[in-house]
């Protein structure tokens, strides 16, 4: 699907034009264009990326292929930017969606294969009150990036709640559950994915905030520095959560080891306590006719008494050693 918006002096003057009309608008130097490609067909992508804007083939190739890592490239007349939006819910867990930007002086082209709430909310805003964000395309690009970074906070909040819930289970439960290990592994993967995304994105935004690219006006550099600060906070929080998760996992593993040792201790004590009865029972269970005790009067009570006294003495000795 192709969504297009044409602005003049901060006002929306046209929308959803066809390719021929977009070529005419491109020729008018006083107009600004935002084209959003949402899950476009190959024909739609070719029409916009090649025919209307004539982007570099390498940039088009990168845009149409999935990229795991953010990046930014300067093609003199425009910047090509790859970023990743995040989402989190109970059904799908943690997931990311690639968002590609082509940022020019008079145009902005965005491309994504899945619906993004940040893009939908920005479209709604430019349709209702575009003046604040559409006078320049670098400002509109910053607004999209800022909205994208703001969406990281709910993800971080959900992950914080899940890590806290795991900690509560570890410290309040009487025994370690096998499912807890799986939960720890899933949360660790999500936090690792979050750090792997935020880190490179922070580096990309840092280059923009330093004024490395001429298409980013100096007046916007403080805004990009603020965006950089938000990404730094998100990365710091993710690292802290990861450390918190490892500490809780360490407690869980220590608890499991302690429980195993307690079980071994009980079994060992039972073995030790039953040693006298096992020795006497084994000795007199050999059924040799010439064992003299077989013919003694009261042999059975004597054997039982010796077994009982030996067991009691062993228990007393274990208690004095604080092993029981």
Average pLDDT over residues 221-239: 88
Q: Give the per-residue pLDDT at 222.
A: 92
Q: Give the per-residue pLDDT at 234.
A: 85
Q: What are the φ and ψ backbone dihedral angles of 319, each rounded to 5 degrees?
A: -65, -40
Average pLDDT over residues 226-243: 85
With 90 as the cut, is the pLDDT of residue 96 above it?
Answer: no
**Radius of gyration, CA atoms only, the chain:** 35
With 60 as the cut, is the pLDDT of residue 92 above it?
Answer: no
Q: Give the per-residue pLDDT at 278.
A: 77
Cα–Cα distance list, 36 to 14, 26, 44, 318 (Å): 14, 15, 11, 78
Average pLDDT over residues 298-307: 74
Higher-pLDDT residue of 316 and 246 is: 316
Average pLDDT over residues 30-35: 87
Q: Per-residue confidence at 101, pLDDT binned at 50, 70, 90? A: very high
Surface-to-core class of residue 34, CB atoms within 10 Å of its CB (0-12 exposed, 13-18 middle, 19+ buried): buried
| Low-confidence winner among 99-103, 141-145, 247-251 (lowest mean pLDDT) | 247-251
CA 36, CA 237: separation in Å to the nearest integer? 32
Q: Give the per-residue pLDDT at 195.
A: 80
Q: Give the per-residue pLDDT at 256.
A: 65
| Low-confidence winner among 191-195, 247-251, 276-280 (lowest mean pLDDT) | 247-251
Q: Give the per-residue pLDDT at 79.
A: 92
Q: Per-residue confidence at 89, pLDDT binned at 50, 70, 90? A: low
Q: Per-residue confidence at 94, pLDDT binned at 50, 70, 90? A: low
Q: Which of 252, 258, 242 is nearest to 167 (CA)?
A: 252
CA angle 188, 98, 59 (to 5 degrees): 135
Tokens representing residue 164 in the block: 């806290």
With 90 as the cut, is the pLDDT of residue 80 above it?
Answer: yes
Q: Per-residue confidence at 12, pLDDT binned at 50, 70, 90? A: confident
User: H-type helices in the chain, by residue range?
Assistant: 19-27, 42-45, 57-64, 117-128, 137-150, 152-172, 178-209, 221-273, 275-284, 299-320
Residue 272 makes CB contacts below 8 A (sequence gap 6+) with: 314, 318
% of the chain exceeding 70 in pLDDT: 83
Q: Which of 48, 26, 36 is nearest to 106 (CA)?
A: 26
| Low-confidence winner among 114-118, 137-141, 202-206 (lowest mean pLDDT) | 114-118
With 80 as the cut, is the pLDDT of residue 224 above it?
Answer: yes
| Mean of per-residue pLDDT scores for the chain | 80
With 60 as the cut, is the pLDDT of residue 91 above it?
Answer: no
Q: What is the pTM of this model?
A: 0.72
């Amino acid at each position: 699907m192709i969504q297009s918006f044409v602005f003049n002096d901060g006002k929306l003057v046209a929308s959803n034009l066809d390719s021929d009309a977009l070529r005419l608008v491109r020729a008018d130097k006083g107009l600004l264009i935002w084209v959003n490609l949402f899950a476009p067909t190959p024909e739609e992508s070719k029409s916009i990326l090649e025919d209307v804007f004539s982007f570099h083939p390498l940039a088009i190739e990168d845009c149409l292929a999935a990229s795991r890592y953010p990046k930014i490239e300067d093609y003199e007349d425009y910047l090509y930017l790859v970023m990743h939006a995040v989402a989190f819910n109970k059904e799908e867990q943690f997931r990311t969606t690639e968002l590609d930007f082509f940022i020019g002086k008079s145009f902005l082209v965005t491309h994504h294969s899945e619906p993004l709430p940040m893009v939908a909310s920005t479209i709604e805003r430019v349709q209702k009150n575009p003046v604040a964000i559409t006078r320049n395309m670098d400002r509109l690009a910053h607004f999209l990036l800022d909205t994208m970074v703001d969406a990281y906070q709910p993800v971080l909040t959900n992950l914080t709640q899940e890590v806290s819930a795991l900690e509560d289970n570890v410290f309040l439960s009487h025994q370690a559950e096998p499912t807890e290990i799986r939960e720890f592994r899933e949360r660790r993967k999500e936090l690792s994915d979050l750090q792997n995304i935020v880190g490179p994105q922070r580096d990309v935004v840092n280059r923009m905030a330093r004024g490395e690219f001429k298409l980013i006006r100096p007046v916007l550099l403080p805004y990009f520095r603020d965006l950089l600060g938000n990404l730094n906070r998100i990365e710091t929080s993710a690292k802290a959560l990861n450390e918190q998760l490892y500490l809780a996992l360490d407690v869980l593993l220590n608890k499991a080891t302690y429980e195993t040792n307690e079980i071994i201790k009980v079994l060992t004590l039972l073995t030790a306590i039953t040693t006298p009865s096992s020795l006497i029972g084994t000795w007199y269970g050999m059924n040799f006719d010439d064992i003299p005790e077989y013919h003694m009067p009261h042999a059975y009570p004597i054997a039982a008494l010796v077994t009982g006294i030996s067991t009691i003495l062993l228990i007393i000795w274990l208690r004095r050693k604080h092993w029981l």
